[in-house]
Chain A
Amino acid sequence: MNASKRRPAIVGTGQSEYTKWGGIQDRSQFRITAEAILAALADAGLTADDVDGFASFSNDGNEAPVMQAALGVPELRWSSMVWGGGGGGSCAAVAQAVAAVDSGHADVVVVYRGLCQGQGRRFGQAGAHRTHGSFTAPFGLFAPSQMLALMVQRFMFETPATSDHLCEIALSSRANANRNPNAVMRDRTLSREEYFASRWIAEPLRLFDCCLETDGAAAVVITTAERARDLDRQSVDILAAAHGSGPGWNTGPLGAHNMPDADYASTNNRRIARELFARAGLAPGEIDTVQIYDHFSGLVLMALEDFGFCGRGESGDFVASGAIRRDGSLPLNTSGGQLSEAYVHGVNLIIEGVRQLRGESCNQVADARTCLVTGGLGVSPTSAIILGRS
């Protein structure tokens, strides 16, 4: 662990209300994003005057220099955005904030995401330009659900994972969301029968295997440990952050589908996992709760294997044992995740990780000291962080 005074910590989180797709029409996407950032700063006990950096990902439409002016941030010293589609960059944006703070390029960096899909194009919408769109769209491969279904199908061929195991991911996420007053699905229970009766989206993925489409904004504030000590609010240490991609992934399932065979049915996170645990000085068994990017249930199973919480092919048995439920050995997506809380491209998962380590989750894990959060799985690049209680 890095013991320097510049060791980065998360000191504040903020979010807008979360609604289903198109639900926020009274304020602009940019405005709710700015409001989430202000909420995160207020949570930290900071103001816009303290901010000197922004980091986001995946072609964020809320441009950092515009945000700087809108919030009256006096000086911008860091602005960065991570390549790639989807939420692969959510934890990578934290990694960039960590790099900025750790190196002294900036002192207070805000990682943010905001989207109101009724106001612009729908995220992941067919017809939007993709680098290798010519090799997917003419064949009817348009949406991430279809693209990643191909990986999940192969995963279910290579391992004993079944639809029952996908169902377990969906059900435990929903049960967690039913206890989260801010979750889009707080009032909607889900049964095994309803899961199996739900319509196919792209086999083997049913409706409830796919994340929500959400309007909302979320932000976290990162600064140095030294600065964090002077603030009133409990900070959360970033024990490790990593982002990247394996060889030959290219645009991955979003276009190329030409990943190496050994990697095809994977989250593209095995290398990141090794680096992440080594940097944090922790083993998977020392993680108390996980917030795993759940754009599609099948990728969560793959992640449990790729991050070493169980062996290859063992994720089905692992989740069937009840391990990922709120009272299990590895409570997973305790806010309801993107399947049932909100789909804010993973930043809502980072916020839930912070809540767990502050002891503020609606599904609080007793004495949680460590939490692993991942960015978008099975895309390129992808990312993850390990948070620790200060």
Chain B
Amino acid sequence: MALFPDIMPRPEPNMDDAAFWENCAARRLAFQACAACGVFRHPPSPLCPACHAPETRWVDAPGTAEIYSFTVVHYPSHPAVREHLPYVVAVLRFDGIEGVKFVSNVTGVSAEKLRIGMKVRLWWDDIGEGMHLPRFRPAQ
């Protein structure tokens, strides 16, 4: 069962980030890098900010990440989360994916145990209609 109910907003891919979400649908977390100079960028964008080349390659993220920052959300800003409070949103960083910070959830951990620098492991949340979202839980 998905972490949040069906009324939770889903990704709405556009022409510039569709490849990211196609990878997620195939349970692959990969970030966009410039095919010419290798600079990473996120969220996806059509041109490399460093050299302006449009060609990209998608580099697989490792299965573990580190918490760069986090918040424990207590206020239901959307009806989909009303029965799921509190929940954790974190900004994550991945070894080898230089400069990319990624927003996701950390599940299966109490608020008191959360800390910046904590290692977390990727899991795929099946949100239906062929889409999966990358979420995380403590690595241990």
Contact = CB atoms under 8 A, between A and B. Distances in A.
Nearest to A206: B74
A362 interface: no
A321 interface: no
B9 interface: yes
A273 B68 CA distance: 26
Contacts of A205: 71
A204 B111 CA distance: 11
Contacts of B10: 138
A145 interface: yes
Given A132-B43, A140-B81, A150 B71 contact: yes
Interface stretch (A74-82, A213-221, A255-263): A255-263
Given A134-B17, A139-B133, A153 B69 contact: yes
A201 B12 contact: no
Contact of B74 (A142, A203, A256): A203
Most chain-A Cβ atoms within 10 A of its Cβ — which of B21, B89, B103, B105? B103
Interface string B39-66: 0001100000100000000000000000
Given A134-B11, A138-B9, A140-B89, A154 B71 contact: no
A202 interface: yes
Residues of A in contact with B, size category: 35 or more
Contact of A134 (B12, B72, B81, B87): B12
A120 B29 CA distance: 38
A257 B75 CA distance: 21
A278 B7 CA distance: 51
Contacts of B13: 134
Most chain-A Cβ atoms within 10 A of its Cβ — which of B71, B72, B90, B105? B71
Given A203-B74, A257-B103, A135 B43 contact: yes
Interface in B1-50: 4, 8-14, 17, 21, 42-43, 49
Interface of B: 4, 8-14, 17, 21, 42-43, 49, 68-75, 77-78, 81, 86-87, 89-91, 99-105, 111, 116, 127, 133, 135
Which 3 A-B pairs have CB atoms at the shortest separation, nearest pair first? Answer: A142-B77, A137-B9, A149-B71
14 contacts: A134-B11, A135-B103, A138-B133, A140-B78, A146-B77, A146-B89, A154-B68, A199-B74, A199-B75, A202-B71, A202-B75, A203-B72, A258-B43, A258-B101
